A and B are shown apart, each in its own frame.
Chain A
């Protein structure tokens, strides 16, 4: 009987602990405070700028072709 109550109380404590954890939503604040997220932003921005320059160059080549006719 004693052991039963012991495990029961243990379970209740465990349940409360998990509840306490669930109420706090984990966000990637650590990633941002260390400053490393800026590297990712820079990489994605660079890829996008590259794509835009590529699109502009396609546009220009097309214009040349259109002017030929």
Chain B
């Protein structure tokens, strides 16, 4: 249990964010109303996804440096878990957009580029499955992953800022951080990010360990 302290920390932080997210006072805004509380649940999904993709790209580089198969497994399981969080983020975002923007998918640059980056990572998984030889698969997918990561960052955080976007924090549309003068939303928001990121890493390590066991069984 001693080396699992961060799993407990993740659980406590997310629990705190659920209780705090529902109960703390929030700014009263038109259109948004109470749905501003979605900030505590929708945004951390994307942060968890980003961290997992970052771990994936780090382990892809490590794989290319050393040729250790375990690094390749961490990279692919990070993407697997990241894609899960990505779909959670897309689904919650569509629900939120439906009541605030009037449609689940207005053709907004932020939304479309997030769809493209999702497809990019799904293509990574398809690419892996299409190659049979293990070393070749690991090498090609690691290189693909290294190229995909900066493109994903550009699609999600740079391109939407250059145009007009409905999404807060993009294209001249202010984020929620400037509202946070009287309200202590950031004291719930920051632990939430850490909590969900750790939850994502935890799920990834479980998937990785299962994958290791499967590999061991297949080799015998």
- Name A residues whose Cβ lies closer than 8 Å to a Cβ of B: 22, 25-28, 32, 37-38, 40-41, 44-45, 48-49, 52, 55-56, 58-59, 62, 65-66, 69
Contact = CB atoms under 8 A, between A and B. Distances in A.
A10 to B, nearest CB: 26
Interface residues of B, number: 22
10 contacts: A25-B33, A37-B22, A40-B22, A41-B18, A48-B18, A52-B11, A56-B7, A59-B4, A59-B206, A62-B213
Interface of B: 4, 7, 11, 14-15, 18-19, 22-23, 26, 28-30, 33-34, 202-203, 206, 209-210, 213, 216
A40 B23 CA distance: 11
Contacts of B28: 25, 27
A56 B205 CA distance: 12
B22 A55 contact: no
B23 A59 contact: no
Contacts of B19: 41, 45
